[in-house]
Amino acid sequence: MFSNYLIGLREGLEASLVVCILIAYLVKTNRRDAIRPIWIGIGIAIAIAMGFGCALEFGSQELTFEAQEALGGSLSIVAVGLVTWMVFWMRRTARHLKSELHGKLDAALAMGTGALVATAFLAVGREGLETALFVWASVHAASDGTPRPLIGVALGLATAVLLGWLFYRGALKINLAKFFTWTGGMLVVVAAGVLAYGLHDLQEANWVPGIRTLAFDISDTIPPDSWYGTLLKGVFNFQPDPTVLQVTVWLLYLIPTLAVFFAPVGFASGKGKVKAPDDQGSQPSKATSA
């Protein structure tokens, strides 16, 4: 449940910040008439993301077991790729996100209502589709038959909306650079578990032959149906009896990805420290007055 809460919080907060930046800029420039098209674009993005998630869930139920495993494994790998790209992209561009969105919004204002709708749709839609795919892959990996993963996602999204509103109202300040760095690192850990389970699905579908020897089996020590086994499964997608291939892929993804992710991306001159983010990173609440 925690891993899915983290997914909802991380992706939802990105979308919330985008919405805050767009709305605050329109208010500041006295273009309140353009707010309605922005909300229309956001609504379309949310509807498409939800439809995509429903199509994945209900469409896969009509497939054979082998086809379900093949689809689940393939989409898990795609989801891991998208999430990995997303966390690196946000870490690299978060400090410039505000100015980038302002530029796109200025261009859309000059083009008309349709361009405003498209700008909001594209700005929020990417996070929505990524969230739907990664949540589906994570829930599929959990596969414990309980609604807890979806509850976790819903709580994460609700928290993100609340934080976004507090940022907009100026009631909350947080170092977003650090927030996105540490939540990004935790998402990489979650993604490693999803990737390993995706390989397990492909093995079940006979798409990945060989190397089915168990790396270890500690089911007696950590029973999958115990509370701590369920906790490890929910947070890290841990399984007590992985194959050699799963463990190998997990290590090959996790170690180098975390090493690169936590490597400094910019240095203050002569100090060897990561540069402090601008007002978008350290004082998001000033979006309304920037």
Cβ-contact 164, 287 below 8 angstroms: no
For the whole model, what pTM was predicted?
Answer: 0.67
- Helix axis angle for 148-169 and 227-236, nearest 10°, is 50
Q: What angle do CA 203, 246, 58 make, to 5 degrees?
A: 55
pLDDT surpasses 50 at 185: yes
Does residue 287 fall inside a structural domain?
no
Cβ-contact 27, 42 below 8 angstroms: no
Does residue 82 fall inside a structural domain?
yes
Structure tokens that stand for 118 in this block: 């498209």
pLDDT surpasses 90 at 274: no
Does residue 20 fall inside a structural domain?
yes
Domain count, the chain: 1
In terms of DSSP H, where are the helices of the chain? 2-28, 35-60, 65-93, 97-111, 113-142, 148-169, 176-204, 227-236, 244-261, 279-282
Side-chain half-sphere CA neighbours of 90 within 13 A: 26
Does residue 12 fall inside a structural domain?
yes
Distance CA 241, CA 93 (A): 39
Q: Which residue has the tokens 């690299």?
A: 92
Show the domain range for 172.
2-278
Query: Which amino acid, residue 128?
Result: G
Does residue 42 fall inside a structural domain?
yes
pLDDT surpasses 50 at 270: no
pLDDT in tens, 231-268: 676 666 677 888 888 888 899 999 999 999 888 755 43
Supply the pLDDT for residue 241.
Answer: 81
Could you give phi then psi for residue 221, rounded to 5 degrees? -80, -40
Does residue 231 fall inside a structural domain?
yes
pLDDT in tens, 281-290: 444 444 443 3
Cα 211 to chain centroid distance, Å, stands at 31
Does residue 178 fall inside a structural domain?
yes
Does residue 290 fall inside a structural domain?
no
pLDDT in tens, 25-78: 888 888 888 889 889 998 998 899 888 888 887 877 777 778 888 888 888 888
